[in-house]
Amino acid sequence: MKLKDLGEHEFIRSVLFKYVDAKELTDVYSYQGKSYKIDGFQLSYTYPFMSLFDLGWKAVTSTASDLITTGSIPRLLLVSIGISPEYSVNDLELIIKGIRSASTYYGFKYVGGDLNSSSANGWIDVVGIGDNICEQHSGVSNKDKVIITGEVGFTSKIFMKYYFKLDIKPDYISLLKVKHPIVNRNLIDFQKTFCKDIVGASDLSDGILITLDQITQRLKIGIKLNLIPIRQTIIKELSQYGFNELDILKFSGEEYESIFIVKEQKLSLMLAWLHKRGIKAKVIGEVDTNKATQGSVVYNGEKIKIEGWDNFKGWF
């Protein structure tokens, strides 16, 4: 069987997990007060409106997002870059400037890494190390609430424009979300303040459907959605081409918003805290501990088919 037939996500579950020492595979590994994260992508992973500086920034943001969302303070950063010798010195320096700028913003100390020659597309891999400030989250219970830190659909609009060759004009916010995403650093203090009331957390870099599916599998729960948090103007624009809300969610990802499962008792206080700091969080659903819905995401009484991006399959 080829990797493209099995898929990245299934390979991790059925093959990779047999060989690692971790008890469970999560986006961030924590051990003795430290958190560790690695993320990366090919240098060809870009759009016409993106610069090499943007690639460097985005690579760091993808690592910082997981650390910050899951309750860690960014500390050290190492970066591996593989690049063709045909690139100019200025090109590589632009990537490094983007890495440095993002490192400063998120509070990393950029301490080095590795440089390699690549005859193919090249890559950026970023290792982030942080201090874990919320090691023990609360246990999950029925009707715990699912909150999201902001609306999504902005990157979907860009992905779908280029994938389907749609004749739509990218708006400024959507362009910015793709080329220069930002994770709100106030989420670190959110974790500090409400650690005991948070059940679990994940960023949306893999897309909201895949993220929710991973949460249900990890916590052995179901999730009932009462809201699809896509910006209404994006739904309206893409519906003209025959796409609905679930189509848009399939092509989501790299929004770098965050999902939190939280206790209902502190919900109002949490939302007020986030809103005061400019984070437009809202409740989009709740936990269902019924065994019949375990491992499922339900919307309008129907189980949602989990679709999105897979590094081996592509869009599925």
Residue 137 has pLDDT above 80, yes or no: no
Within a domain: 273: yes
d(CA 213, CA 210): 5
Measuring CA to CA, how many Å separate 261 from each of 48, 103, 111, 307? 37, 28, 34, 21
Same domain as 162, residue 62: no
pLDDT tens digits for 58-73?
999 999 999 999 999 9
Same domain as 238, residue 282: yes
Same domain as 187, residue 42: no
> What's the pLDDT at 26?
86
d(CA 182, CA 177): 8
Q: Share the mean pLDDT of the chain.
A: 95
What is the percentage of the chain residues whose pLDDT exceeds 70? 100
> What's the pLDDT at 136?
66
Helix (H, G, I), strand (E, B) or coil at 127: strand
What is the rounded average pLDDT of the residues 25-36?
Answer: 92
Bridge partners for 112 per DSSP = 78
Whether 130 contacts 73, CB under 8 Å = yes
Residue 198 pLDDT level (bands cut at 50, 70, 90): very high
Within a domain: 234: yes
Residue 135 has pLDDT above 80, yes or no: no
pLDDT tens digits for 205-221?
999 999 999 999 999 99
Phi, psi of 308, rounded to the nearest 5 degrees: 165, -150
Q: Token pair for residue 307?
A: 């679709």
CATH of the domain at 297: 3.90.650.10
The domain boundary residue, chosen from 81, 107, 132: 132
| pTM of the complete model | 0.94
Within a domain: 12: no
- What is the count of structural domains for the chain? 2
Same domain as 96, residue 228: no
What is the rounded average pLDDT of the residues 196-201?
Answer: 94
What is the rounded average pLDDT of the residues 89-115?
Answer: 98
The domain boundary residue, chosen from 102, 132, 162: 132
Same domain as 156, residue 43: no
pLDDT tens digits for 224-283?
999 999 999 999 999 999 999 999 999 999 999 999 999 999 999 999 999 999 999 999
Same domain as 123, residue 209: no
The domain of 118 spans 32-132
